[in-house]
Structure 1
């Protein structure tokens, strides 16, 4: 079953790669820009350091364009007549600028020597599928262990009672009755109250599909869902002791709607304002100054970047400073998350470095009917209890694996449900 699931997932990845190749090989830069799939003539405005040691490259051009999540950064060298591709994640978009986040493992070399003009293209997010494939491989290792598996893999999840129930290796535990239950929202109807009670009484896996007020066939962005849930949690009244619920949202502040209370709840803002942030700030400033010097924008550089042995030495300093910064900042992030009572993230981002060593009493996957099973396993590995919420009348993930649909039709069979995907596979 797991092998078939991985095979179908790979088919979806191949379909998206074919679509990207078709667009890039048959459409010129101007047409791609008209369709909102590319931005050309961008210049490097600044290079900074973000959460997790990521390099944030700010590109700008005096024009407003619409862009979406994942882009490769294309460097064109007319003298050498070649191109260098940098796979990057869009971090922030405004009317006249876009910020590209570069993973530390990718930027520790001289390949980040960006030219004066760059082009950005929108392509499929391969990182999402990599994490989904990794989650399925991890599931196979813990459910069907073999002698070839590495027993000392510290990142391999444990075979929890929840996973055993989900994989049919154990029966769900008996419900634990709750005598008295006080609701925060008195406007809930009887069926909604029943759903809440059912979820609280089940030790491992309550699955309750809630018919929502949203219009059928309406699908909103993952970040919008997180934003709405975050606003509701922040609006909850304080407890009898006067303390508010401690909520943290994992994600870039630029993707959070401009609201002071909501913005303050993001992990990056909390980390920057914590008492331990000063430990990492000095290293961050030194790292950014070194990157400015490498790009020829440092103090006294006069637009001239260092070359030869001096440049190689400075890149060695960047590697050392980045490593030290990640270590110091990691302690700050762990401190913030350990104090949080509720953490909001997408299924995809829950597999990131910030939440790698964190487990949770309860994991709630909102809009579960619109997510792939593979992406749901990422947060499930961190949970003792799982709650799936969603509307069965909502649209499922969009089918992209056309070849498998044709094959199923020709053979008289039915296409696998798991051969579907969409931009929503980041989960809720």
Structure 2
């Protein structure tokens, strides 16, 4: 994508950022709304029952609040919070997490086992926090990054600065300038050659360094995995500093910035300063942080004196209600502190020749605002391919020349909004420059020698993505696990590539997470076996890593392996980029009958996963469920590696214990399974007609292939996984019915699955079978539901659609052809199945055997005999054959103000399908259900959570339309469960008294009483003297 002008780029990027921001807020709201604070804490995004343990001032006078558990010494609950996350501070007693209840917000600056420090966004002058109150912290959507990116884009509109030439080249249609003829003399030796800081650079690295130093506007260093990209970048920085230039080095993440700094500090001539909070940095380089350097500067003693006074006032503010004078003193102290710290920061930064920071911190809001706009001569962005282009421009505007380094064939920046990604937000600046038709290749150099992988591990990625240009350095080209000290030589340690194929093993994937992640317990067991084999061979657990695309599989594997092998690293693909291990075991998880692979189809994700291995790569996957990229990887491993079937491990797998997916605690697992069961019927709503047709054709093709196999003719049962959607199950049911196969659903809830088997001729028909064909639709619904046990709505509606309606049972009609349809009947079914007593039929007799049809002599399952009879005879049972059923008289609950509009429903006798009846019911649902109200509610209406009826806005309150008793019962139950009615009421739970605090308060009270007694005694003595 090329932009016509800078203004066009800014307008489009701002629009895409708004889409991304909206998607982030919606995702955050989806995860947090209608969820209790306790559940949010279990998810890891909230911490409850915290008290203020201290308040102090940080850099630039920012207020830092230290929170700890209410019980002194107790550790904080585990959470996903980390340094840099934005959190909101709420009263612990607030029932919601809405913005109106938020006291203030801040950034996590330090997280320890028992305390967490929050740096407030604003001054704390008007923030009321009490030592005696409890608070909760909730992770918020990151608005700081969005605000900075938006500010940076707006500043580009009227930009006039050192990067004007680079901007004109990328947005003004100009070509890149030609490189300089020679390097600065200070960089050259006696023979006019470049003097290298790192003597071990290979030819491609040296060429990239010289090329970058000669470029006038921008140079791009493309570094495939293991080629020493960061080493090359550091050499360029050192050479630039030696030439007298000042460098701003950036990266999208703190880890990438630390990697550069770690290599830079080995050279004593570099004065490098790292911006950011020290807690976000690696411990070895924290002394290079701005805070650490300031603490050793000459002006620090004066700053510390002011800060001590400020801290004393902040502590005093929490202990008194008369805060007016304290506020004024804090304001003056904070102003003085800012002035003195600003002066110290300017002095430190101006003397540094390399300043390192993350891209989103390279703005005018941070410490860089104290430097002149043209202070820097060179900007370096490492891992540029992992950052959006708008973030890169926060740093690029600060210097006339730039270096971009990365690999656009590895993971791209994370984009939440699919629409924003489709419109170009995920396109990086590095990709855009490389893809320039006119001169894209003129400013790019690729590193070609890799120092990590065995040549066989490397070659697939080289052929697939890097035009076969990668070469393995001789030191790693043929190294294997068995060459490590203490590792024995065997069939596992003597091979670089191993493929364990689970095709045909029925190791199907499972979706047991409310976030939609996936796991595969069969693959997890195979991974555990191979890990144990490697460890038994002498490979240290710290040299092995298990990588998988799905977080649910990560959780499952950690439950199985982390306790036994604490040093074994188990991570997602996204969390392992930039890392390496001697042995990598990759589990792709996906295994289903429709060939759906999700984001496993992304070749960049596969590239990252495979290129983490140094000596051994083991791929565990189902070769029949692969994407185009994954199939290429499987074919490569089949040709160049060793292939084993999962059947070879079946005997060993009997000893492997696999926990229930997503089940850390039985109660939590039950919640997850309940959510999945509720969500399954709605999965098909997200599929278009074309997608359904494609899925149906794949399923039918698979069924046809199976039906002609020896496995089918021998009577074996074909079982389909529980991950299938309602639509996919319907396709299988219809195909099996049309072709005379036995088909049934087994299992419950999230383990619901279909079994199909070729019919087997058996004994004569059993009694009670004909009674099924005489059942009404509602009765058949009851029978099918009770027959299946705790059936879900999706399977139940599949069976309902295969039963004729009541009208058709009372009429003779023409032969019905149950043709396969591409539209999902479940989507139009809104009415819930009737919950009543089951007909008095021997269900066990119906399930256990088959029946032979008298007309066509075919043998069909008993449960399907009624449907077969309709197709075979071409007509329905007559009215005389339908025996009247005695209706059950159930006295309804008194709801006088509601109306059942179904009584007035006029069903046309000519309606022969259930869709017509349901459409009539849908029309009734467009009118308020209050007895005397005719208001339409198709656009504006609310459903009562108690009676599940919809009402207009005038009658939606439970007390108005007849649910007053129910809402009062519900309120009483909530009150009894929580133990209080409202804060400040007489039923508030008594708070646990801290013994130390009580003793302290008692001492203060005794001291005051003693003072008062002394004062009174003095007054009495004065009166006596006067007398």
Separation of aligned partners in 2, 1:402 and 1:85: 33
2:195 counterpart of 1:182? yes
Q: Which residue of 1 aligns with 2:45?
A: 37
Stretch deviating more after TM superposition (77-86 or 361-370): 77-86
Q: Which residue of 2 aligns with 1:293?
A: 316
Deviation of 1:108 (Å): 4.6
Q: Which residue of 2 aligns with 1:94?
A: 112
Could you report, residue by residue, the CA deviation over 1:181-223 in whole angstroms, capped at 9, with x for unpaired residues? 12211222111111111111012211221223189xxxx9922
| Residue from 142, 148, 156 that aligns with 1:125 | 142
Runs of at least 5 residues in structure 2 that lack an aligned partner in the other structure:
1-7, 184-191, 229-250, 429-573, 576-1027
Q: Which residue of 2 aligns with 1:167?
A: 171
Deviation of 1:36 (Å): 1.2
Q: Are the counterparts in 1 of residues 252 and 383 from structure 2 also a CA contact under 8 Å? A: no
Separation of aligned partners in 2, 1:404 and 1:250: 31
Deviation of 1:79 (Å): 9.9
Q: Which residue of 1 aligns with 2:389?
A: 373
Aligned alpha-carbon RMSD (Å): 2.7
Separation of aligned partners in 2, 1:193 and 1:159: 26
Q: Residue 127 of structure 2: SS of its match in structure 1? A: helix
Q: Which residue of 2 aligns with 1:225?
A: 256
Q: Are the counterparts in 2 of residues 91 and 100 from structure 1 also a CA contact under 8 Å? A: yes
Deviation of 1:174 (Å): 2.6
2:91 counterpart of 1:76? yes
Q: Which residue of 2 aligns with 1:85?
A: 103
Aligned CA distance change for structure 1 residues 403 and 231 (closer, same or farther; 3 Å): closer
Q: Residue 178 of structure 2: SS of its match in structure 1? A: coil
Q: Residue 27 of structure 2: SS of its match in structure 1? A: helix
Q: Which residue of 1 aligns with 2:720?
A: none
Could you report, residue by residue, the CA deviation over 1:220-255 in whole angstroms, capped at 9, with x for unpaired residues? 99222222211111112x4xxxxx321110011111
2:320 counterpart of 1:306? yes
Q: Which residue of 1 aligns with 2:13?
A: 5
Q: Are the counterparts in 2 of residues 48 and 55 from structure 1 also a CA contact under 8 Å? A: yes
TM-score, normalising length: structure 1: 0.81
Q: Are the counterparts in 1 of residues 389 and 427 from structure 2 also a CA contact under 8 Å? A: no
Separation of aligned partners in 2, 1:39 and 1:6: 34
Q: Are the counterparts in 2 of residues 75 and 114 from structure 1 also a CA contact under 8 Å? A: no
Q: Which residue of 1 aligns with 2:35?
A: 27
Separation of aligned partners in 2, 1:174 and 1:276: 47
Deviation of 1:57 (Å): 0.9
Q: Residue 87 of structure 1: SS of its match in structure 2? A: strand
| Residue from 261, 283, 286 that aligns with 1:263 | 286
Structure 1 residue ranges (4+ consecutive) displaced by more than 4 angstroms after TM superposition: 77-82
Runs of at least 5 residues in structure 1 that lack an aligned partner in the other structure:
144-156, 239-243, 296-304, 406-414
Aligned CA distance change for structure 1 residues 394 and 288 (closer, same or farther; 3 Å): same
Q: Which residue of 2 aligns with 1:300?
A: none
Q: Which residue of 2 aligns with 1:325?
A: 337
Determine which structure has greater relative contact order: mean sequence separation of CA pairs < 8 Å that are 6+ residues apart, divided by chain length.
1
Could you report, residue by residue, the CA deviation over 1:130-149 in whole angstroms, capped at 9, with x for unpaired residues? 11011111112327xxxxxx
Separation of aligned partners in 1, 2:224 and 2:410: 9
Deviation of 1:419 (Å): 5.3
2:327 counterpart of 1:315? yes
Q: Are the counterparts in 2 of residues 253 and 268 from structure 1 also a CA contact under 8 Å? A: yes
Deviation of 1:311 (Å): 0.4
2:299 counterpart of 1:281? no
Q: Are the counterparts in 1 of residues 163 and 396 from structure 2 also a CA contact under 8 Å? A: no
Q: Are the counterparts in 2 of residues 58 and 98 from structure 1 also a CA contact under 8 Å? A: yes
Deviation of 1:361 (Å): 1.1
2:400 counterpart of 1:384? yes
Aligned CA distance change for structure 1 residues 404 and 232 (closer, same or farther; 3 Å): closer
Deviation of 1:171 (Å): 4.4
Q: Residue 314 of structure 1: SS of its match in structure 2? A: helix
Q: Residue 273 of structure 2: SS of its match in structure 1? A: strand
Deviation of 1:306 (Å): 1.9
For 1:200-215, list aligned pairs within 5 A: 200-213=213-226
Q: Are the counterparts in 1 of residues 306 and 337 from structure 2 also a CA contact under 8 Å? A: yes
Could you report, residue by residue, the CA deviation over 1:244-285 in whole angstroms, capped at 9, with x for unpaired residues? 3211100111112222xx121110010111011123221111
Deviation of 1:390 (Å): 0.6
Q: Are the counterparts in 2 of residues 49 and 56 from structure 1 also a CA contact under 8 Å? A: yes
Separation of aligned partners in 2, 1:379 and 1:397: 17
Deviation of 1:170 (Å): 4.9
Q: Which residue of 1 aligns with 2:569?
A: none
Q: Which residue of 2 aligns with 1:246?
A: 271
Separation of aligned partners in 1, 2:19 and 2:94: 39
TM-score, normalising length: structure 2: 0.35
Separation of aligned partners in 1, 2:333 and 2:13: 41
Separation of aligned partners in 1, 2:31 and 2:169: 44
Stretch deviating more after TM superposition (264-273 or 396-405): 396-405
Q: Residue 198 of structure 2: SS of its match in structure 1? A: coil
Separation of aligned partners in 2, 1:367 and 1:327: 36
Could you report, residue by residue, the CA deviation over 1:337-384 in whole angstroms, capped at 9, with x for unpaired residues? 111111110011111331114331111011000001111111112112
Separation of aligned partners in 1, 2:11 and 2:166: 21
Separation of aligned partners in 1, 2:94 and 2:274: 46
Deviation of 1:26 (Å): 2.6
2:447 counterpart of 1:416? no
Deviation of 1:399 (Å): 2.7
Separation of aligned partners in 2, 1:212 and 1:78: 51
| Residue from 324, 344, 369 that aligns with 1:356 | 369
Separation of aligned partners in 1, 2:174 and 2:200: 37
Separation of aligned partners in 2, 1:80 and 1:371: 38
Aligned CA distance change for structure 1 residues 214 and 201 (closer, same or farther; 3 Å): closer
| Residue from 295, 305, 311 that aligns with 1:272 | 295
Deviation of 1:72 (Å): 2.6
